[in-house]
């Protein structure tokens, strides 16, 4: 494993879905709407941009009128809508003429669409939706009547693409089926006791022999090995960071609770203060 590129920021998913034809097939399979071959697809994925230890996986324009952001996730964070809000803001900065935003007439911009594809090991439904509005703080305590309309919303459909889930979508997109199968096969080998390092090469050979992502794997086998190890390292880093963040939060909560106790407050007063500060223990 000495020659594995630990700093590789790409992933097998974003590498596989990096051409207009493959993205046309993927989008058509998910939405059930074929994109005619004469409609152009322009890829504008954010490159070398890091947000919360994740990079934008795939972004593309359909006929310069629809901007589609697709994220591949092995763990689902409820903060995905906020992260996608950051991504799409950066993409608009890339594709919209910055001078036109000051003009008098309405500036037309591409309509956004967000898609998350999940293939982690946790149980997850075939389909669900995440909403940005779920993250908004409760303003009921402000006693401002009449403010019940949400002025900003971002809805993220999440599809489970693990082998055996959403078979109709996988059936319509050979590349997505192949990717799902490839990942499930690695997990199958690991379940037999093989290490990740010992699993990848046999799985690549198996898939090529059985015509699964054959052309892609034949052309990019060494890159795939590097990316697989990079993805697993990144998942470990994220897990460690989350654990450390939880430990820091618990320590802050403990200190805050002790401060309240030192103020000789009653239990009810402490409870009320915690609710006001939105501290959850």
Domain ranges of the chain: 12-98+106-136+150-277
pLDDT for 98? 86
In this predicted model, what pLDDT tens digit does every residue of 120-155 receive, in sequence order? Answer: 999 999 999 999 999 998 877 776 766 678 889 999
CA distance linking residue 228 with residue 232, whole number of Å: 6
pLDDT band for position 10 (50/70/90)?
A: low
**For residue 241, pLDDT beyond 80:** no
Model confidence pTM above 0.85: no
The answer to whether the beta carbons of residues 114 and 155 sit under 8 Å apart is yes
Average pLDDT over residues 73-87: 94
Q: Residue 53, by phi and psi: left (phi above 0), alpha (psi -120 to 50) or beta?
A: left
Sequence-distant (6+) residues with CB within 8 A of 244 are none
- More confident position, 155 or 239: 155
In this predicted model, what pLDDT tens digit does every residue of 178-211 receive, in sequence order? Answer: 999 999 999 999 999 998 889 999 999 999 999 9
Average pLDDT over residues 255-276: 70
Q: What are phi and psi of 192, to 5 degrees?
A: -85, 0
pLDDT for 141? 72
**For residue 158, pLDDT beyond 90:** yes
Q: What are phi and psi of 184, to 5 degrees?
A: -65, -35
pLDDT band for position 226 (50/70/90)?
A: confident
- More confident position, 5 or 95: 95
How many CA atoms lie less than 13 Å away from 74 in the CB half-sphere? 18
Pairing of strands 111-118, 66-73: parallel
Provide, for the chain, the percentages of residues in helix, strand and coil under a 3-state DSSP scheme, each rounded to the nearest 5. 50, 15, 35
CA distances from 163 to 4, 129, 201 (A): 27, 20, 20
pLDDT for 176? 97
The least confident of 109-113, 125-129, 152-156, 267-271 is 267-271
pLDDT for 11? 85
In this predicted model, what pLDDT tens digit does every residue of 19-51 receive, in sequence order? Answer: 999 999 999 999 999 999 999 999 998 875 444
CA distance linking residue 148 with residue 137, whole number of Å: 13
pLDDT for 54? 43
pLDDT for 228? 85
């Amino acid at each position: 494993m000495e020659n594995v590129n630990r700093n590789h920021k790409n992933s097998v998913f974003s590498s596989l879905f990096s051409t207009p034809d493959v993205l046309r097939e993927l989008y058509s399979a998910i939405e059930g709407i074929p994109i005619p071959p004469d409609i152009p697809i322009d890829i504008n994925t954010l490159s070398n941009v890091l947000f919360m230890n994740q990079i934008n996986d795939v972004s593309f324009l359909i006929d310069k009128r629809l901007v589609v952001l697709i994220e591949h996730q092995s763990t689902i964070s409820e903060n995905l809508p906020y992260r996608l809000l950051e991504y799409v803001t950066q993409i608009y900065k890339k594709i919209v003429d910055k001078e036109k935003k000051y003009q008098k007439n309405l500036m037309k911009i591409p309509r956004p669409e967000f898609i998350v594809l999940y293939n982690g090991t946790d149980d997850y439904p075939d389909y669900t939706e995440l909403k940005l509005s779920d993250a908004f703080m409760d303003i009921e305590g402000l006693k401002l009547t009449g403010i019940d309309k949400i002025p900003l919303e971002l809805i993220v459909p999440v599809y489970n693409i693990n082998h055996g889930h959403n078979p109709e979508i996988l059936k319509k997109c050979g590349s997505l089926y192949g990717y799902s199968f490839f990942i499930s096969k690695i997990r199958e080998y690991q379940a037999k006791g093989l290490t990740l390092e010992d699993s990848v090469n046999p799985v690549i050979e198996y898939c090529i022999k059985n015509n699964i992502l054959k052309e892609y794997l034949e052309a990019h086998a060494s890159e795939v090995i590097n990316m697989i190890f990079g993805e697993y390292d990144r998942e470990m880093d994220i897990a460690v960071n989350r654990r450390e963040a939880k430990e820091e939060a618990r320590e802050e909560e403990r200190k805050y609770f002790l401060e309240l106790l030192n103020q000789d407050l009653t239990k009810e007063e402490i409870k009320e203060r915690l609710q006001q500060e939105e501290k959850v223990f």
